[in-house]
């Protein structure tokens, strides 16, 4: 853990060397989801509701997913840019060091500019909660926090899976975007608005449903359920992350250096 | 511009085009991504349309066409289109070699970017087209409104491509001053793509926003050709729009050429 924080401070100092670029990028990261958010706002202005979901219920869903996504992009960036390590042959260096590969890859890159997106997500979350008084109890707020953490698990799991693919081939990596960027675009709306095949895939294969949709149903009293259920649901992501880490370990055994 | 110049640009276009066609695995992944995004966007929009009291200006049919065209020609409309070659050329100093060439740099780069986008669009649009015309309802893409609107759509689409490249040229030129490609690109790209109707279709935006959109060039890259195709913009309006497209291309190219000349006059070759 100490090692990881050392990595963090090194990356932070190096990124602060290009201050203007850093600020511009952070601002850009703030703006990107902002246009998406503006899209949601204008659509609600025109249509009023979305299959029984109100504006603030949807923005709550949106905020949780975007917070989770930007946190995982911040912290798990190393897995996201892992193909670079493999192509350059730099992964060899990691393997000979007496530390775990996961923590080293996690520490190999860190994107502080994603704080822009993080701030935006946090602001939307605070605004949505302030407009939804039914959430103002301790277990419910705790559940919201757990949902964000759970989202980080799911996104990190996908990043790890995509990185593991690099052990076999670095071609076709773009496909992973379907699950990261595509997953984010999809899960920022309640899953209930989609057709059954999309819903099932993102419940049972990649458990985005456990991040936002299923807990939200309980949070917003759209479905009956106990508090225990509410607080347990957000652990679906951990169930997803564990096999991903296992596959990563299998992948490492198949690693052949690019040489050069 | 003499014939020999034209020949040089034509062969540059050919080289870049063939080069662009090499990335087939990436295109395959791109096709899957585009199809997925298309489905997600449509399901979201349809959910809004469903049991809503208001009947929006854009019908479901037109919306489906709008979304699929967007996914097919994503290489024609994305302002944020990675070409790190030009960026590294500027920030890395290899620009010096470019300056030695006896060609107009603006046209030279313009042709390069054009060819790349065309190759990428060719690889992606045809397979996506094959899929989306045979999808079950309501996701099936419909045929163009009339032969006339189809013809005008093709013209508008190609002119839209010129608009997008002309805008992206301005982004590249700005790197001469900022030296940090990502920051400025990202800002312009994000705002431009919103105004082009890539987040929500322009007819679904509030009226005050639409009037801003109509005053800017971005909608001519995507929104305008797509609505010509579906007949949402009638033929006579389409012809006026094409005229506006031409004016915008002219204005953007003149400004771009001028800025480029200024940038090159005081260019500092980086690195060593």
Lowest mean pLDDT among A74-78, A166-170, B143-147, B166-170: A166-170
Structure-model confidence comparison of residues A233 and B138, the more confident one: B138
C-alpha angle B267-B271-B272 in degrees, rounded to nearest 5: 115
Smallest CA–CA distance, residue B41 to chain A, in Å, is: 8
What is residue B5's predicted lDDT score, i.e. its pLDDT? 78
Q: What's residue B1's pLDDT?
A: 57
* Least confident interval from A243-257, B35-49, B142-156: A243-257
pLDDT on residue B84: 64
| pLDDT score of B164 | 92
Comparison of pLDDT for B211 and A76, the residue scoring more? B211
- Residue B226 makes CB contacts below 8 A (sequence gap 6+) with B65, B66, B69, B70, B197
- Report pLDDT for A163: 84
Mean predicted confidence (pLDDT) in B146-167: 92
Contact A178 B206 (CB under 8 A): no
Compute the nearest-CA separation of A99 from chain B (Å): 34
Using a CB-CB cut-off of 8 Å, the residues of chain A touching B56 are 46-47
Mean per-residue pLDDT of chain B: 84
Across the interface, of A24, A39, A198, the residue whose CB is closest to B199 is A39
Determine which of A26, A43, A113, A187 to mutate to test the interface with B (most B C-beta atoms within 10 Å). A43
Which residue of A23, A175, A185 is in closest CB contact with B29? A175
**A16 shares contact with chain B (CB less than 8 Å):** no
- B169 pLDDT higher than 60: yes
Taking the CA of residue B10 and the nearest CA in chain A, the distance in Å comes to: 31
Which residues of A fall within a CB distance of 8 Å from B47? 50-51, 189, 193-194
Give the pTM: 0.84
Nearest residue to B267 via CA among B148, B92, B130, B103: B92
Using a CB–CB cutoff of 8 Å, tell me whether A198 touches chain B: yes
Q: Residue ranges per domain, chain A?
A: 2-253
Instruction: Answer yes or no: is the ipTM higher than 0.90.
Output: no
Q: What span, in angstroms and rounded, lies between the C-alpha atoms of B31 and B150? A: 24
Which is nearest to A212 in space by CA: A248, A247, A187, A232?
A187
Residue with tokens 């997953």: A183
Per-residue pLDDT at B78: 82
Interface test with A, best of B48, B139, B209 (most A CBs within 10 A): B48
Write out chain A's pLDDT in tens, 260 residues: 777 778 778 877 877 777 777 777 777 777 777 888 899 999 888 888 888 888 998 999 999 999 999 888 888 877 877 777 777 777 777 777 777 778 777 777 777 777 888 888 899 999 998 888 887 888 888 888 888 888 888 988 888 888 888 777 766 567 777 888 888 888 888 888 888 888 888 888 888 888 888 888 877 777 777 777 777 777 778 888 888 888 888 888 877 766 54
pLDDT, average across residues B74-101: 73
A-contacting residues in B 32-61 (Cβ below 8 Å):
32-33, 36-37, 39-41, 43-44, 47-54, 56
- Domain boundaries defined on chain B: 3-265
In this predicted model, what pLDDT tens digit does every residue of B212-245 receive, in sequence order?
999 999 999 999 999 999 889 898 999 999 999 9
Question: Quick check: B160 pLDDT over 90?
Answer: yes
B54:A46 CB<8 A: yes
Contact assignment for B187 to A46 by CB distance below 8 Å: no
Verify whether the Cβ–Cβ distance B43 to A195 is below 8 Å: yes
Within 8 A by CB and 6+ apart from A80, the residues are A73, A109, A159, A162, A163, A180
């Amino acid at each position: 853990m100490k090692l990881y924080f050392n990595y963090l401070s090194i990356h932070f100092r190096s990124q602060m060397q290009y201050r203007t670029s850093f600020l511009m990028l952070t601002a850009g990261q703030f703006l990107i989801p902002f246009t998406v958010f503006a899209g949601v706002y204008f659509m609600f202005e025109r249509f009023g509701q979305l299959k029984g979901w109100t504006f603030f219920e949807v923005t709550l869903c949106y905020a949780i997913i975007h917070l989770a996504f930007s946190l995982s992009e911040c912290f798990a960036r190393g897995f996201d840019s892992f193909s670079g390590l493999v192509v350059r042959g730099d992964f060899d260096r990691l393997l000979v060091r007496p530390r775990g590969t996961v923590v080293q890859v996690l520490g190999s890159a860190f994107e502080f500019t994603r704080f822009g997106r993080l701030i935006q997500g946090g602001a939307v979350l605070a605004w949505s909660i302030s407009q939804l008084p039914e959430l103002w109890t301790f277990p419910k707020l705790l559940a919201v926090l757990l949902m964000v953490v759970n989202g980080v698990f799911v996104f990190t799991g996908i990043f790890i899976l995509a990185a593991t693919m690099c052990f076999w081939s670095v071609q076709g990596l773009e496909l992973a975007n379907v699950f990261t960027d595509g997953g984010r675009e999809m899960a920022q709306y309640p899953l209930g608005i989609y057709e059954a095949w999309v819903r099932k895939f993102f419940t049972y294969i990649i458990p985005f449903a456990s991040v936002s949709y299923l807990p939200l149903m309980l949070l917003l009293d759209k479905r009956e359920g106990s508090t225990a259920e509410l607080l347990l649901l957000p652990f679906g992501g951990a169930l997803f992350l564990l096999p991903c880490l296992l596959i990563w370990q299998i992948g490492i055994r198949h690693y052949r250096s690019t040489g050069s | 511009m003499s014939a020999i110049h034209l020949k040089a640009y034509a062969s540059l276009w050919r080289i870049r085009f063939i080069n662009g066609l090499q990335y087939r695995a990436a295109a395959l992944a791109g096709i899957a991504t585009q199809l997925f995004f298309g489905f997600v966007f449509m399901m979201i929009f349809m959910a809004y349309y469903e049991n809503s009291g208001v009947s929006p200006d854009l019908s479901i049919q037109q919306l489906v066409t709008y979304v699929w065209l967007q996914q097919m020609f994503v290489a024609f409309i994305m302002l944020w289109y990675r070409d790190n070659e030009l960026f590294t050329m500027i920030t890395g100093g290899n620009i010096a070699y470019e300056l030695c060439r006896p060609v107009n740099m603006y046209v030279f780069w313009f042709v390069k970017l054009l060819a790349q986008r065309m190759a990428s669009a060719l690889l992606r649009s045809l397979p996506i087209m094959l899929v989306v015309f045979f999808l079950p309802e309501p996701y099936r893409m419909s045929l163009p409104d009339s032969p006339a609107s189809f013809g005008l759509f093709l013209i508008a689409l190609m002119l839209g491509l010129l608009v997008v490249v002309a805008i992206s040229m301005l982004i590249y030129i700005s790197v001469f001053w900022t030296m940090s490609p990502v920051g400025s690109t990202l800002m312009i790209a994000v705002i431009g793509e919103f105004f082009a109707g890539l987040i929500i279709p322009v007819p679904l935006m509030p009226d005050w926003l639409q009037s801003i959109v109509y005053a800017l060039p971005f909608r001519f890259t995507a929104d305008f050709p797509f609505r010509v195709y579906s007949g949402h913009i009638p033929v006579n309006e389409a012809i006026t729009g094409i005229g506006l497209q031409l004016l915008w291309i002219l204005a953007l190219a003149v400004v771009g050429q001028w800025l480029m000349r200024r940038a090159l006059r005081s260019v500092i070759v980086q690195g060593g």
